[in-house]
Structure 1
Amino acid sequence: MSKTESVQEFYARNPKANPSGLSVNNANGIGHFNVFSRENCFRSTPYSRRDFYKITLIIGSGKLYYADKCVDIDKPALLFSNPSTPYSWEAISDKQTGYFCLFTPSFMHAEHQHFILHQSALFKVGGNYVFFLNPQQVISLSGVFMQMIEEIKSDYIHKYDLIRNYVQVIIHEALKMQPANTYQPHSSAVRISNLFVDLLERQFPIDSQERSLELKTAKDYASKLAIHVNHLNRAVKENTGKTTTQHISDRVIREAKALLIHSNWTIAEIAYSLGFSYPPYFNNFFRKHTKMTPGIFREQYLHV
C-alpha cells in the first residue's frame, strides 16, 4: 500500500501537471491551489491517502476503489476527495476528459473564510463523494473549471480570492444534489462525534509495518479528546446511531480488507500492524465481523 501522497509527490508523479515548477505554497502564503485538464491524466493512480483535497470532474468511464468497495463510474461524475479517505482510480474507456483541482486545507481556511472543509457533507469521513451529472450540469461545471484555469494564469492580484469563490460554487452545486436529511444541526454531540471520527480516520491508512495502530479502544479515544469515555459514547451514539466500539471495529475491518487486497503483507504482519498481539486474535476478530477468515477473504477477492 502506498504512503500518504503529498502535493510535492503528486507533482513528482505528474511532472506534466506543473511544467512551470509552481511552488506548493503559491497562494499568497495561505496554502496551495492548482487546476488542470484531465486530457493527459494517468489511466490509474495508486491506492493511497493524499494530504490535499481534490475535486474532479470525470468524463470517461472507470472504477474508484475504496478500502472495501468499488464505485463504477459509467457516466460523467463529480468526485470529492479528502485527506482522510484513501482511494485509487482505474480508467476503463480510452477517452478521459474533464478537469480537476487540488488544494491544501489552509487554502480554504483563510481568516475571512467561514467554510470548514472537514465539516462539509462532501468531504466528511463516510460522506457521499461521487455525484453523477446530467448534460447541463456537465456544461455548467466545466465552465467553472475553465474559468479557474484562465484565472490562475492571470496577473490579477486577488485571483486566489476569486478562485476560492469558484471552488465554493462547485461545492454548493454539489450540496444542492445532496438529500436534505444529510445536514445535521450543530450541537455538542455533533462536535464531539465529528472530532472522534476525524481522530479515528487519522490513524489510517496503516502504510508501513514499522508502525501499528495506536488508539484501539473507546477509552483511548476519550483520553486523547480529554473527555470521559461515557460522554464520548453518548455523543457518538446520539449523533450516528452506532457505538464508539462499532465505529472502531468497522474501521479496523475496512483497513484489514484494504491491506489484504492492496498489499502483499502476510496475515500475521497485517494483524500486528492493526494492533493485535497475536495473529489468532486478528483471525477471530475478522471472522466475527465478516463470517470468513482473512485468508479466505484474500483468496476469494484475488480470484474475482
Structure 2
Amino acid sequence: MKETEKKPVFNSLLTQYLHFGLPVDQIDEKTDFTIHNLQDIHLDLPFKSPVYRANFFSFVFVKEAYGKYTTDDLIFNTIPGTIYFTNPGHYKSHEWEQLSEVCLITLSESFLKENVHPDVFEEFPFLLAETVLPRVLSPESFSEFEQLYLQIRKEYFGSSPYRNRMIGNLFVVLLLKIKEYFWKDYNPIYEGNRSSQIVKSFKQTLEKHYRDLSTGKVIQAFRVQEYADAQNLHPNYLSNVVKSKTGKAIGTWIAEKTIAEAKSLLQHSAISIKEMAFLLGFSEYAHFSNYFKKHTGLSPVSYRKEQHRV
C-alpha cells in the first residue's frame, strides 16, 4: 500500500472521534467501553466517514435510521431493526442518510476479558469471525435488545463503584441474546479467500495458546515460528498476511494478547505476579513488570491494587 493510501488506525472510539472532529463529551476516557446514541453525534446529515481501521469491537443497534457500512470489501445496508457488530482489525467505513435512533457500543478485548468473562471467546466464538452478516429483526424482537442496551447505558452514565461489573454482566446477557437469535448453530458465513482463512486460524490459535498458558497447560509462550508451524507456513509469509489483512503486525497481536491475559489474571486470580510472569512466558519477573508497565502505564502490582479497591 502506498503511503498516500494508508488509512488511519484507531485503538479507541475516542481517538476515532477526535480524528473525525466529532463530539467526545459522552465518552469516558478512563474505560475501554462506550455507549451512546449516534443521533447525538452526527448532527449534520448525510454523513460519510473515510475508510479506517478500528482495533476494538463495535455493536450497532439501528432502531430508526437508513445508511450503509463496509467491512473490508463487503457492503451492507442498514435499515430499521438492523443489528450488527464488527471486530478489530478490518477496513471499515459507514454512512448515514437518515438518523433518528441508533445505539453504538464499543469495547476492547481487555474490557471483555476483565468484565465479561476471561474465556469470553470460548463461549461466544462468533466474536472472532472474519465477518458476520447483519440481521434485521422485527420490532418485537428488537425491543428485547433495546431494553438491554438502555439498561447498559443507564449504568454507563451512572456513578456506581460497581459500574463496570454491572455493565459486564448485562453485556453477557446481550451476547447470549445475540447467540440465541443469530448464531445458535454457529458457522462462519464469510470465510473469504486464503488470507482470511490464515488470519482466522491464527486468531484461534493465539486465543487457545494464551488460555493454555494461563492455566499452566503449556509453559512457554509461542514465537511467530510456532504460529507459522501450526499452519505449515513460513513465518515471514504468516507475518505478511496478518499485517496486510488486519493492519497490525503479528508481534502487536501477541503483545496485546499478553497484556489482555495479564490483566485478566491480575484481576481474577490470586497467584503471585512472579508465577504469573512465568505462566505468560517471561523468564524473569522484572522483564514482565517492565513489559506490562510499558503497555499500560502501571506496574502489575499497582494494577492489581487498583482493581481490588472495588
TM-score w.r.t. length of structure 2: 0.55
Residue 176 of structure 1 is matched in structure 2 by: 180
String of CA shifts for 1:72-108, please: whole Å, max 9, x gaps. Answer: 223421121211222111223x234121111122111
Counterpart pick for 2:18 among 12, 30, 36: 12
Tell me the equivalent position of 1:215: none
Describe the superposition over 1:107-158 as per-residue Cα deviations: whole angstroms up to 9, x where unpaired.
Answer: 1111882343498343223241422211112222122121122112222111
The answer for the alignment partner of 1:144 in structure 2 is: 148
**Partner of 1:36 in structure 2?**
36
Structure 2 match to 1:104: 108
DSSP 3-state at the match of 1:46 = coil
Structure number with the higher helix fraction is: 2
Seq. identity, %: 13
- Counterpart residue number, 1:84: 89
Give the direction of change, closer, same or farther, for the CA distance of 1:101–1:252 in structure 2 (3 Å limit): closer
Quick check: 2:35–2:153 contact (8 Å CA) kept in 1? yes
Q: What is the CA-CA distance between 1:55 and the residue it aligns to? A: 0.9
Task: Kindly tell me the number of residue pairs found equivalent between the two proteins.
Answer: 208
What is the CA–CA distance in structure 1 between the aligned matches of 2:79 and 2:20, rounded to whole Å?
A: 25
Q: Indicate the residue corresponding to 1:29 in structure 2.
A: none
* Residues 118 and 37 (structure 1), Cα distance of their counterparts in 2 relative to 1, 3 Å cut: farther
User: Deviations 1:179-231 (Å, cap 9, x if unpaired)?
Assistant: 544269xxxxxxx985525699xxxxxxxxxxxxxxxxxxxxx97241674x5
Contact 1:108 1:117 in 2 (8 A): no
**In structure 2, how many angstroms separate the alpha carbons of the residues matched to 1:197 and 1:21?**
29
SS state of the match for residue 18, structure 1? Answer: coil
Separation in structure 2 between the aligned mates of residue 97 and residue 142 of structure 1, nearest angstrom: 11
Match of 1:125 in 2: 129
| Separation in structure 2 between the aligned mates of residue 125 and residue 20 of structure 1, nearest angstrom | 29
* 2:69–2:76 Cα contact (<8 Å) kept: yes
User: How big is the shift at 1:178?
Assistant: 2.9
Q: What is the TM-score normalised by the length of structure 1?
A: 0.56
2:162 partner letter: H
Q: Deviations over 1:36-91 (max 9, x none)?
A: 01213432222111122111102312112222221122342112121122211122
How large is the RMSD of aligned CA atoms in angstroms? 3.8
2:128–2:203 Cα contact (<8 Å) kept: no
Aligned amino acid, residue 11 of structure 2: S
Cα distance in 2 for partners of 1:253, 1:195 equals: 13
Q: Say whether 1:73 aligns with 2:72.
A: no
**Which residue of structure 2 lines up, in the alignment, with residue 263 of structure 1?**
none
Q: Residue deviations 1:220-247, cap 9 Å, x none?
A: xx97241674x5249xxxxxxxxxx9xx
Measure the CA separation in 2 of the matches of 1:53 and 1:253: 17
Q: Distance in 1 between matches of 2:115 and 2:38?
A: 32
> CA distance change for structure 1 residues 196 and 60 in 2, over 3 Å: closer, same or farther?
same
Structure 1 16/183 Cα, relative in aligned 2: closer, same or farther at 3 Å?
Answer: same
5+ residue gaps, structure 1: 27-31, 185-191, 201-221, 235-244, 256-304
Tell me the equivalent position of 1:292: none
Show the 5 A alignment for 1:177-216: 177-182=181-186, 194-197=200-203
Question: 3-state SS of the aligned residue for 1:83?
Answer: coil
Aligned to 2:231: 232
Aligned counterpart, 2:160: 156
The one-letter amino acid paired with 1:133 is L
